[in-house]
Amino acid sequence: MRSLFARLLRFILLLASLWVAVTASVVGIFRWVDPPTSAFILRERMTNPGMDVRHRWIDWNHIAGPMKVAVIAAEDQTFPQHRGFDFESIGKALDERGRGRVRGASTISQQVAKNLFLWNGRSWLRKGLEAYFTVLIELFWSKPRILEVYLNVAEFGPGIYGVEAASHAFFRKPAARLTSSEAALLAAVLPNPKRLRANAPTPYVQSRQEWIMGQVRSLGGTDAVLRKIE
């Protein structure tokens, strides 16, 4: 029995070591190589084969500064400082969940981990894997790289992935030419891009757009925020 247990333990440790080696290598490669797709895009293509899925990768230098800062203001204002997790927001989310409310606390790094490698859901397994990939991403990538990947894999509308595809779909221009108001409008739909529309903004989306623009000003403006992460 002891011999069988020892062999089983060695086998489990070997699998764990292989898992860490493979996943760390993939994340490390993506520091320099642009991911060709994401788990969410692949799922969209598989579950909705008739949908016109639009995705076009664009490099960091071809994304307008206001777009980069708009998503920070909207989704993760501690992004320049944290190392993958905003523990204060997590604590507030747990407190509100105990009161029967639902509050998101995922950082941009966590959202990249989920969108790129995982699936949607609230299971402990998925959350554990998300935390694991978040640590790897923060370990191997720079802040600009994390934000670049996020802006290229985030969903901005049904079947519309990445800021370049979204900019062409909604404003008929490249992401490099997005204005502050257009960037805030795109960032405003990120919580629920299947329902919220940048090309037909509801009063809620418009109010969120105005709030995001105000938050950008409160953070010191586009240039000040970019200096913190570049």
Place of tokens 């990947």: 149
pTM for this one? Answer: 0.90
Burial status of residue 5 (CB atoms within 10 A of its CB: 0-12, 13-18, 19 or more):
exposed
Closest CA to 67 of 228, 175, 200: 175
| 110 conformational bin, left if phi > 0, alpha if psi -120 to 50, beta if neither | alpha
Q: What is the dihedral of CA 184, 185, 186, 190, to 10 degrees?
A: 90
- The 3-class secondary structure across 41-74, one letter per residue, is HHHHHHHCCCCCCEECCCCHHHCCHHHHHHHHHH
* pLDDT recorded at residue 119: 87
Question: Any bridge partners for residue 161, and if so which?
Answer: 55, 155
Rounded Cα–Cα distance for residues 52 and 104 (Å): 29
Give the CA count within 13 Å in the CB-facing half-sphere of 185.
18
Rounded Cα–Cα distance for residues 55 and 89 (Å): 31
Place of tokens 């802006």: 151
* pLDDT recorded at residue 97: 53
Q: What is the pLDDT of residues 36-63, one digit of tens each?
A: 999 999 999 999 888 889 999 999 999 9
How far is CA 230 from each of CA 77, 106, 109, 142, rounded to the nearest angstrom? 15, 22, 16, 9
E strands present in the chain: 54-55, 155-157, 160-161
Rounded Cα–Cα distance for residues 216 and 230 (Å): 17
Rounded Cα–Cα distance for residues 98 and 29 (Å): 40
Rounded Cα–Cα distance for residues 56 and 43 (Å): 17
pLDDT in tens, the chain (230 residues): 668 777 888 889 999 999 999 999 999 999 999 999 999 999 999 998 888 899 999 999 999 999 999 999 999 999 999 988 888 877 666 665 544 444 456 999 999 999 999 988 888 999 999 999 999 999 999 999 999 999 999 999 999 999 999 999 999 999 999 999 999 999 999 999 999 999 999 999 999 999 999 999 999 999 999 999 98
